Every structure is written in C-alpha cells, then in structure tokens.
Amino acid sequence: MLLNGINHIALISNDIDRLRAFYTEVFDAEVGPTRPHGDKGGETMTMIRIGPHTELNVVTIEGNPEPDRQTPMWGRGRLDHFGLQAASAESFETIRQRLVDHGASDGNVNDFGAVRSVFFRDPDGLEGEVLVAE
C-alpha cells in the first residue's frame, strides 16, 4: 500500500475545551495550542493528536451552526463517522470503559470477525468507532 493510515480529520466545533477534555481523558490524546485560523476573525484551530500519525484538526468559527446539526446514521453528509484503531486489545478495553464512564457509549462490542468495535459519540455529537483486530 502507498498509504500508512489517516493523517487528520478536520471538523468544526462550538466548544474546543469540551472536546479537549473528552479526547485527553478517554484516549490520552495530546492537544496543541488553540491558534487563530483563516483570514477573518472569529476562527481558531486546535490540533488534537489521537495517534502517532493521526490528529483531529478542530476548527471553531463564530456563528457557524454546523456543529449543532445532527441527523441519523447515513444522513449526516459526506463524513458520517470515523474509525480509530486501538493499539492493542488491552487499549481497546481501556478506551471502551472510559467511553462508558463518560456516557459516550453503551459499551456494546460488535464482532465483525476480523475486528471488534465499539461506537461512541463525542461531546459535539460526532459518531466515532474504535476498532481492534481479533
């Protein structure tokens, strides 16, 4: 393969502090500083490193209503959800329990044969999935 995973996922949020806390507490993510972004005022970007080669680039834009829009699965536009690869079976279980503790998941594990997964919703309502090889 010519690729080695996902570099970043860019998304819009209303509350970077809430996302920062969630991703650090559940996934041990590393969060960079929030900096001005774009040509006009009222825009910031914060990079949240969720893996060795993967980060969330979280943009806040004053007055943008998109983070509040939620619809059912497969009706959310081009990005419906994202999948994160757990480093090990032990990491998967730690993350699963943290998601349950944060009220972000019911903890139900899906068995897809080659992989197991657990779905969650982050504080902004974006759906994610954590997967681990069986």
Q: What is the reported pTM? A: 0.83
Q: Are 122 and 23 in contact (CB under 8 A)?
A: yes
pLDDT digits (tens, 9 = 90+) for 58-102: 999 999 888 888 778 788 777 778 999 999 999 999 999 999 999
Tell me if residue 78 falls in helix, strand or coil: coil
Tell me if residue 67 falls in helix, strand or coil: helix
pLDDT digits (tens, 9 = 90+) for 13-28: 999 999 999 999 999 9
For 80-133, CATH number out of 3.40.470.10, 3.10.180.10, 1.10.1740.10, 2.60.40.420 equals 3.10.180.10
Name the strands in the sheet holding 115-121, side by side, starting at the edge strand that comes first in the sequence: 81-85, 127-133, 115-121, 110-111
Q: Output the CATH code of domain 1-66.
A: 3.10.180.10
